[in-house]
Structure formats: structure tokens, C-alpha cells
Amino acid sequence: MIPICRPSIGEEELKEIRKVFKSGWLGMGSWVKEFEEEVKKFLGVKNAIAVNTGTSALHLALDSFGIKKGDEIVVPSLTFVASIQAIVACGAVPVFCDVYPNTLNMDIKDMEKKITSRTKAIMPVHYSGLPCKIDKILKIARKKNILVIEDAAHAFGSVYQGKKIGNFGDATCFSFDPIKIITCGEGGMVITANNRVAKIMIKKRILGISNDTWSRYQHKRSWFYDVEMLGFRYHLSNINAAIGLKQLKKFPEFLKRRQEIVKKYDKSLEGIEGLELIEHNYKEVAPFNYIIKVKRNRERLMKFLQGKGITTGIHYIPNHLHPFFKSYRTKLPITERVYQEILTLPLYSEMTNKNVEFVIKTIREFFQV
């Protein structure tokens, strides 16, 4: 089978994990600190707070900026459920907005319509790694004194107007789970230029404790700590950070390969009757996945590909259609239409040219072109 995605990991990561094992310090420690510093350098940002998942990153960011019960957060429905769960975990209300059909990113006009006096934040999602029009979103948010908490789980390394994602909103949240461009095994990161809130996040990620265990053991009273606020067990481990450090060094080759595959797909699938491609920007996008829109017979195409050994998926079931979020349900015509059309094709850094060509050949065979 050709999978939709697969992590690109190897001996370098194993060697670094062995160093962690040898140190005897498996939890949060010097590898986590180093990973944060390297990400800060890579993105050119002030603060990077490493956490155990991208979902934790979103919840930590919202909570640390003071999002509370009854606050409204405008968010696209076409995103992974983690975005919405993080909002609901704060007691806040997700207000769903529609997406553009050509990019599947947040529709800014619809977003603006959904803003009320109770809106405290906007959560744009950089879908598939393609950056939202974040400058326009920020302009609206600043006028209305609303926070912008970016869900950039798909967009590590993507660039917008010459700057890497992470340099725009009040906070930017990344995911380093097994299927992202770089992985920590499991992990996430919150980026913010707000030094005051960054200090809060650092404490909240480890149960509101003033000094984490590793920091305490650098000083005389290793047993002493203060609990200063409500917190969570969200910190990253040295094991996961060790993987991330080696993955970060491989990012340029991962990016180059993924962009090569996306270009091959675009060139070979463009113009097929019954298919529509999502907009790509090869210079700025670090592509997380590859989506096509199938105008008819999507399920038949999925079964056809499966029969040939090609795995596909649908990213995502719109959140306003899930039973748990039915109280927030609203009409989103574009989202509901594209949900019936979108199909995710295989994309991962170690995918061979032979694999790519077979996927293309099989799709063209289905459409008889």
C-alpha cells in the first residue's frame, strides 16, 4: 500500500534519543530548551514554548491570553477537531465561518460577519500549509481589539509576504505529530511576541509551577517549588525534543521533496474533467498534504485507488456537522459543498517518483484520460 502520509525518521533520531537515555533525564530538560532555541532561530521569533501536542498548544495559547467561558472565537469549520476542542476546553464558543473554495482557507468576509461584541479571538487555520491572508485578518482584528490565535498545525516553515508563519498573530500554534513535515513523535509549539503571556505559558504548561524540575535541579533547593496559577501537564519531553532537533535539520530536504511532489501532481492532474485543484504557491508553501476536489464519483475513485493499493482520505469532516458541536451548528454552503468533493492523496518526504507516477497514472486511468 502507498499510505497518505508517513514520518521520515532514521538513525540520526535514534542516536539522539540514545543520548537522552544515557543522560537519565527523559522529561523536560536541556533537549527541550535547545529545541525551543533552534525553532526561535529558524522562525526568527521572540518566544517559543514547546508542548506535548498541537492541541495542547492551542488550548495553552487561548487560556494564557485569558479566553474564558462565554467568549466567542471565530474559526473555520473545515479543520481538524483539535482546533474546536481547544476552544470548547476554555468554556468558549466556536463561531464557525466559511472558507474560500479555491484555497479552503478562512473566508474573510464571512469571518467579519460572524464577529460580535462577545468575540474575543479569531483562529485562522493555514489549511494544507497555504497561509491565510493573515495581514487582512490582523487589520480587522486590530480595529476591533480582537486576538488572533493562528492554528498553523499544517504550516511549519510556510512563508507569507517574506516572513515565516509565526511572525504575525498574537500567538501561532504548531504541531509536530507523526504526520507533519517535521515530527517530534508527538509535540507542539506556541510562538508569541508577547513576553508577559510567554511567561504565563511557561508556567501553565507544567501545572502552574514556577520552576520545572530540571530548572530546580540546577540550584541548591531542588525540592522547592511554588504553584502560582492553574496549569496543565503539557510540557514536551527530552525524548520528543531530541527527535525534533534532528528533524529540524532535515527540514530543507523535506520541503524540497514535498514541493517536487506537489508540482508533479499539479502538472499531471490539471485539466482533467471532473477534477479541480487547490491553489498552490510553490515559493511560500511548505505543503502538509495534497488535496484535490472530485466533482463527481469521489467514493468510486477512493475505492478504485484503494483497490490499486493507494490510500486516500478526507480532510476534514466539517466540525459543525459533528454531533458534539450541534449546538454551534450553522449554514456554511461552501464548506458543505467542498466537503463532498475533497480528497487527500499520498504525500510524504520519502515518497518515490515511482509512487507518485503510479498515483497519477491510476487517477488518469479512472478518468479515462
34: three-class secondary structure by DSSP: helix
Count of Cβ atoms closer than 10 Å to residue 50 Cβ: 28
In the annotation, is 180 catalytic? yes
Distance CA 53, CA 240 (A): 11
User: pTM of the predicted model, to two decimals?
Assistant: 0.97
Sign, Cα dihedral of 121, 153, 243, 251: negative
Kindly state the helix (H) or strand (E) to which residue 292 belongs, with its residue range: strand 290-294
pLDDT recorded at residue 220: 65
Q: Does domain 250-366 have CATH number 3.40.640.10?
A: no
Residue tagged 468576509 (cell numbers): 109
Question: Per-residue DSSP letters for 72-116?
Answer: EEEEESSS-HHHHHHHHHTT-EEEEE-B-TTT-SB-HHHHHHT--
Spans of the chain, pLDDT less than 70: 216-217, 219-221
pLDDT recorded at residue 222: 76
Annotated catalytic residue within 180, 203, 204, 293: 180
Count of Cβ atoms closer than 10 Å to residue 30 Cβ: 14
Distance CA 234, CA 32 (A): 13
| Grid cell of 295 as nine digits | 466533482
Domain 11-247: CATH class, spelled out: alpha beta
pLDDT recorded at residue 218: 73
- Residue 198: φ, ψ to 5°: -60, -40
Per-residue pLDDT tens over the stretch 17-72: 999 999 999 999 999 999 999 999 999 999 999 999 999 999 999 999 999 999 99
Cis omega before residue 225 (within 30°)? no
Q: Are 46 and 18 in contact (CB under 8 A)?
A: no
Distance CA 39, CA 30 (A): 14
Spans of all domains in the chain: 11-247, 250-366
Distance CA 173, CA 363 (A): 35
Distance CA 250, CA 32 (A): 18
Distance CA 280, CA 270 (A): 12
Per-residue pLDDT tens over the stretch 335-360: 999 999 999 999 999 999 999 999 99
pLDDT recorded at residue 216: 60
Q: Are 72 and 91 in contact (CB under 8 A)?
A: no
The residue type found at 93 is V
